Amino acid sequence: MIFWSVLEMILSTRHKYNYVGLENISKTDAVLLLGNHVSWIDWILLQLPLDRKINYMMDKDIYYWKLMHYIFKKGEAIPISKRGAKDALKEAGKRLENGKIVGLFPEGGITEDGEIQKFFRGYEMIPKNYNGSIVPFYIDGTFGSIFSKYKSKKKKSIFARREITVYFGKAIPKDTKADELQEIVQTMKISTLE
């Protein structure tokens, strides 16, 4: 808990956070969190408002980064690779069966143009014998920041704080397909522009 408090304190000097739809995340049932991937800090942004720990599925190469491996391991992340995908998906299913929150970015990487990329179907293979649902999310406000792949040419004042909003949608069935999920997240994005 101290780790997250310190992170929040550091990041809040540069960002203002808004969270919409937190009531959509069950306090007891399993939750598969799926949504867009905009920056290197998305995993932190999703975790900050939640009391329950998110068990992230992440690329095995990133999981074993020397500087971050201890944190990822302590955070109960699930490393995944093409060769070991079956075992990782089975492990995610076990965690969901135990009522945990599992987080995954189905685009498979950080967007370079701010648009929502194709959602891959890997998460569809997570065993569904758990009591819970999918909660879609949309992260808005980190594109163009120092933590995204795209760097804005407009210089911001060093005193300006970036406003970041994370939207958690209503729970949807755990058998929702990737193309349907992508459409839901796209609709969440559009609704933020209206």
pLDDT by residue (tens digit) across 73-96?
Answer: 888 999 998 887 999 999 999 999
Residue whose token pair is 């959602």: 119
Neighbours of 72 (CB within 10 A): 18
Model confidence pTM above 0.75: yes
Q: Three-state SS string across 155-172, please? A: CCCCCCCEEEEEEECCCE
Position with higher pLDDT, 76 vs 155: 76
**Whether pLDDT at 4 is above 60:** no
CB-based burial label for 70 (10 Å; 0-12, 13-18, 19+): exposed
**Tokens describing residue 123:** 């998460």
Residue range 135-159: average pLDDT? 77
Strands (DSSP E) found in the chain: 15-20, 30-35, 54-59, 78-80, 101-104, 132-140, 162-168
Long-range contacts of 5-9 (CB under 8 A, 24+ apart): 7/44, 7/48, 8/48
Query: What is the distance between the alpha carbons of residues 72 and 65, in angstroms, rounded to a whole number?
Result: 9
pLDDT by residue (tens digit) across 18-44?
Answer: 999 999 999 999 999 999 999 999 999
CB crowding 138-172: b at 16 or more within 10 Å, else e: bbbbbbbbebbeeeeeeeeeeeeebebbbbbbebb
* Domain-wise residue ranges, the chain: 2-193
Query: What is the distance between the alpha carbons of residues 154 and 163, in angstroms, rounded to a whole number?
Result: 16
Residues in a beta bridge with 9? none
Residue range 122-134: average pLDDT? 97
Q: Which amino acid is at 63?
A: Y
Position with higher pLDDT, 189 vs 83: 189
